[in-house]
Structure 1
Amino acid sequence: MTERTGPTGLELKSADATGLAEAFGDFMTTFEAFKEANDEKLAEIERRLGADAVTTDKVERISKALDQQKRALDELALKRVRPPLGDAGRRAAPSEHKAAFDAYLRRGDERAMRALDLKAMSIGSGADGGYLVPDEIEAEIGKRLAQISPIRAIASVRQVSSAVLKKPFSRTGPAVGWVAEVAARPQTNSPTLEELQFPTAELYAMPAATPALLEDAVVDLDQWIAAEIETAFAEQEGTAFVNGNGTSKPKGFLDYGNVAEASWTWGNIGYVATGVAGALPASNPSDKLIDLVYALKAGYRQNANWVMNRKTQAAIRKLKDADGNYLWQPPVTPGSRAMLMGFPLVEAEDMPDAATDGTPIAFGDFARGYLVVDRTGVRVLRDPYSTKPYVLFYTTKRVGGGVQDFDAIKLLKYGTT
């Protein structure tokens, strides 16, 4: 078993050699060490109006080790759900389309795919535009993206067959009122409907393979394609779902206008200000987190998540409530999420760091608030000519996204107003 020493002096095991249960145990042990060191730091502050530099450094090192172990734990949990490599992971009776597509990937043999074109007319687009991947591969790509793209994992996902999804939305219901038994019933106002549009944009990856890899029958090309593009797609999606400007990419929820919660209007994201430029208040900082929780209506809080990046989470991890309990709690089981004040915490590295007038923390029901639009079909174009001897696989899919309910997501603004 490979071992190494972490920044705390604690012994850490390599992710590829440690079982998931053992890694989770190491993570919980480190969290207990973090709490002990942070409590010591807080006690020194109370006694001497300042923490010892050695204690402060110890807390920071343990906090960094905790982040490293959490990422290793997430990677191990992800590996458990990946399909096995080789023919053992394939279905016993692959579809006709899948078998034809496999021949196209390995040898560039288009005859079977062209035959399917003639039979189904819409199943592929020909060699010039690439062929649609079989459902088995497309489902695997979508599954992996949901596991490693944080916003996609908590948002609503809609499959569409057109370039733009147009969604009607009722801002106000029909007017109603009380009336006496025999009084006249005047006509009421009709509900107000608006149309939200979510255009899809093209996302692409171009992995390369050697002829030897393609000729190796043991290699499962389905898994290989999904593995090659999962990180590239997930990173681009994650950035766009948070900060995208809507031009040739999805529109991120932070790109919409934001206003103080007291002045909230439809089309904007409401925020709660901390009252301190670039930071939480020094006194009772958890009160601002509570204010953010209750800025969200009760119907949205039932399925709400916190969203922040690693640095912000490290700062929040040190906070306690009035009873001395830590607000941040580790995952209960391997593969589950950490909890903050009873709500799941999603780590999204594309969220901004703490800064003056920045919004590093989001809280809301993202399943109702944010919509991811996937256009049906992932296409692959085989290119054996551009970078010989490598064979390129130009893989594309169309993705869109945007806020669909502006009342379902709230932000914490590190500012005075």
Structure 2
Amino acid sequence: MHKKKLLDMIAKKEARKKELSEKAKTSQDVAELRSINAEMESLNGDIAELRGMADSIPEEPVPAAPPVASGDEGKRSKEVEDAEARRAGAQKLNPLAAIRIGTGTSATDPDKRGFDDVLKMATDTPEQKAEMRHALFSAPEYRSGYFKMLAGRKDFTDVEKRALTTASDSGGAAVPTTTFNMIIQRMQQTSALFGLLKPTYLPGNVVLPVANAQTAAEWTDEAPATDKDDTLTSVSLTAYALSKFAKVKGQLILMAIDALEAYIVRAIGDQLAIAVENAILNGTGTKQPTGILTGVTWTDGENSATFTDKLDYDNMVDAKKMLGLYRSNAVWVVNAAMEAAIYKIKTTVNQPLFTQNPITGLISNPLGFPLVVDYYMPDDTILLFNPDYYFMNINQNPMIEANDSAGFMTTSRVFRGTLFADAKPTLSEAFVKMTKATAGG
């Protein structure tokens, strides 16, 4: 099969993936979403197989130009021009285009350059060096070389060797940009809470400003010299290491680069998401992020209250009242037992107050806020909070390292994925907690 035909098939399947991603954004039907997910998995497998086939086929040679007759030096053979156009088109087709975080769609990165262009970039200042490394990690030659290195393969092309050497000399190898985006997207899909956050991606330790939402602007003839009522605080975030190991059988290492990447992203990304999920709620702040339940200052009657025997409608109304101006984008977070308690709240005629959609299986938004079920929430506790006031920073691309010794007895290769991040709640008034009163309390 011709390479051009394979690339055309890949392009069509990528277009179908993009169409399904857009459809998934608006769908509220669980059955439809499951169908979309199944088709996406099938498309990913087909694309990986087709890319492996395409990679094994050399480029079509450009036909040599026929001798140019005297006086026709300025003319070129139409066959040569057509062949060069096909070659240029194949180079422009980039099925490895980066997935933009938050969109779930593929889009060509405007900063993506070929490796030769990366080498020409200036590195005189720290900013220029950082830009060069960003372009390097986005280069397809670096990505293919990186995964061959992880798989323990030796069949590097000269360009792949140079890309890996350049990365090592400029500060060390890191996960390719495409892979990083796939890990973040996988975490957003796996974690109930991570997808609600708006993490930053700033290197090193950072101090981020936090604005108080309670202060309104004033109508005035002239702008006031000072904003005496405004309060502007900050949150300091460092970097804690979160690691996950994944064992890959020897025969799987021989799979195509795209298939190996997808396997590692799925194995490592899912487990990173679970650990981050727990930390968002229960993190201690010691060698890990600070969680909401542990990090917010809870004040009875201001952002905390109790309910007696069981949660009722008035309790939920009180929680909404305490959240005040921070209720925009707010969500309820409960575990499965508290979800059941909300389902059981009845009207005066003994009918369910919050009904379940018979198609999607989702409960209607209680008091206008989405309901998120999280298994790391404790029993008899309900949270209502604005995710915009839980700050998270991922300060570098995740690291993925490989080692054969741990899997020597089983002919396996062990991969370790490490994420460096920190997170903590900021304004306590943007979080409301209700818990069941203890006996005698």
Normalised TM-score (structure 2)? 0.63
Moved more, 345-354 or 113-122: 113-122
The CA deviation at 1:403 is 0.6
Match of 1:242 among 281, 290, 296: 281
CA distance 1:229–1:201, shift in 2 (3 Å): same
Question: Is 1:375–2:357 an aligned residue pair?
Answer: no
Q: Please name the residue that 1:165 is paired with.
A: 206
| Partner of residue 100 from structure 1, selected from 128, 145, 153 | 145
Secondary structure, aligned partner of 1:288: helix
1:86 equivalent in alignment to 2:45: yes
2:384 to 330, 338, 363: 363
In the aligned structure 1, how far is the partner of 2:142 from the partner of 2:314? 57
CA 1:332/1:378 → structure 2, altered by over 3 Å: closer, same or farther? farther
More strand by share: 1
Which moved further from structure 2: 246-255 or 368-377? Answer: 368-377
- The aligned counterpart of 2:290 is 251
Map residues 210-359 of structure 1 onto 2, 5 A cutoff.
210-217=249-256, 220-262=259-301, 264=302, 270-274=303-307, 276=308, 279-280=309-310, 285-297=312-324, 299-322=325-348, 324-331=350-357, 334=360, 339-354=365-380
Instruction: Report the CA distance between 1:221 and its aligned residue.
Output: 1.0
- Aligned position for 2:426: 404
From the superposition, tell whether residues 113 and 369 of structure 1 become closer, same or farther in structure 2 (CA, over 3 Å).
same
CA contact (8 A) 1:116 1:123 kept: no
Judging changes above 3 Å, is the alpha-carbon distance between structure 1 residues 259 and 78 closer, same or farther for their aligned structure 2 residues?
same
Question: Could you tell me how far 1:188 is from its partner in structure 2?
Answer: 7.7
SS across alignment from 2:429: coil
Match of 1:133 in 2: 175
Per-residue CA deviation, residues 200-258 of structure 1 (Å, 9 max, x unaligned), is 21111111112211113397011101111133112211111100101111110000254
For each residue in 1:41-81, what CA deviation from the matched residue of structure 2 results, as whole angstroms up to 9, or x when unmatched? Answer: xxxxxxxxxxxxxxxxxxxxxxxxxxxxx8x9987775565
| Equivalent position to 1:115, from 154, 158, 162 | 162
Go from structure 1 to structure 2 and tell me whether the alpha carbon gap of 1:154 and 1:174 turns closer, same or farther (over 3 Å shift): closer
**Deviation for aligned residue 1:176:** 9.8
| Residue correspondences, number | 320
Q: Which moved more, 1:309-318 or 1:339-348?
A: 339-348
What is the CA–CA distance in structure 2 between the aligned matches of 1:188 and 1:370, rounded to whole Å? 25
How has the CA–CA distance of structure 1 residues 242 and 133 changed in structure 2, closer, same or farther, with 3 Å as cutoff?
same
Structure 2 CA distance for partners of 1:107 and 1:85, relative to 1, 3 Å: farther
Deviation at 1:376, TM superposition (A): 2.6
SS of residue in 1 equivalent to 2:407: coil
Pairwise mapping of residues 144-159 of structure 1 onto structure 2 (< 5 A)? 144-159=186-201
Q: Distance in 2 between matches of 1:174 and 1:411?
A: 23
Distance in 2 between residues matched to 1:352 and 1:198, nearest whole Å: 26
1:175 to 1:232, Cα distance in 2 relative to 1, 3 A: closer
One-letter amino acid of the counterpart of residue 84, structure 1:
L
Native 8 Å contact 2:207 2:236 kept in 1: yes
Distance 1:352 1:76 in 2: 33
1:165 is displaced (CA, Å) by 2.3
Q: What is the CA-CA distance between 1:308 and the residue it aligns to?
A: 0.5
The Cα of 1:343 is off from its aligned counterpart by 2.0
Structure 1 CA distance for aligned equivalents of residues 317 and 306 of structure 2: 12
Q: Where do 1:163-202 residues align within 5 Å?
A: 164-170=205-211, 189=228, 191-202=230-241
Give yes or no for contact 2:296–2:428 (8 Å, CA) kept in 1.
no
Per the alignment, in what secondary structure is the counterpart of residue 142 of structure 2? Answer: helix
Q: How far does residue 187 in structure 1 lie from its aligned partner after superposition?
A: 8.0
> What CA distance in whole angstroms lies between the structure 2 residues aligned with 1:150 and 1:291?
25
Offset at residue 137 of structure 1 (A): 1.3
Q: What letter corresponds to residue 399 of structure 1 in structure 2?
A: A
Unaligned runs of 5+ in 1: 1-27, 29-69, 126-130, 265-269, 355-359
Distance in 1 between residues matched to 2:398 and 2:331, nearest whole Å: 30
Shift of 1:147: 1.3
The two structures have a TM-score, normalised by structure 1, of: 0.66
- For residues 273 and 229 of structure 1, what CA distance do their matches in structure 2 show? 39
Q: Distance in 2 between matches of 1:155 and 1:166?
A: 17
Q: Distance in 1 between matches of 2:170 and 2:211?
A: 37
The secondary structure found in structure 2 opposite 1:86 is: helix
1:228 and 1:107 mapped to 2: Cα distance?
Answer: 18
* SS state at 1:412 partner: strand
Q: SS of 1:306's equivalent? A: strand
The code of the aligned residue for 2:382 comes to: I
State the Cα deviation string for residues 92-151 of structure 1 (Å, max 9, x = none). 5441122112321333447766522444567762xxxxx312111111111111111111
* Contact 1:97 1:113 survives alignment (8 Å): yes
Partner-residue secondary structure (3-state), 2:383: strand
Question: Alpha carbons of 1:172 and 1:150: their partners in 2 closer, same or farther (altered >3 Å)?
Answer: closer
- RMSD, aligned α-carbons: 3.7
Judged with a 3 Å threshold, the aligned counterparts in structure 2 of structure 1 residues 237 and 122 are, in CA distance, closer, same or farther, namely farther
> Which residue of structure 2 lines up, in the alignment, with residue 205 of structure 1?
244
* In 2: Cα distance, 1:202 partner to 1:213 partner: 28
Structure with bigger gyration radius: 2
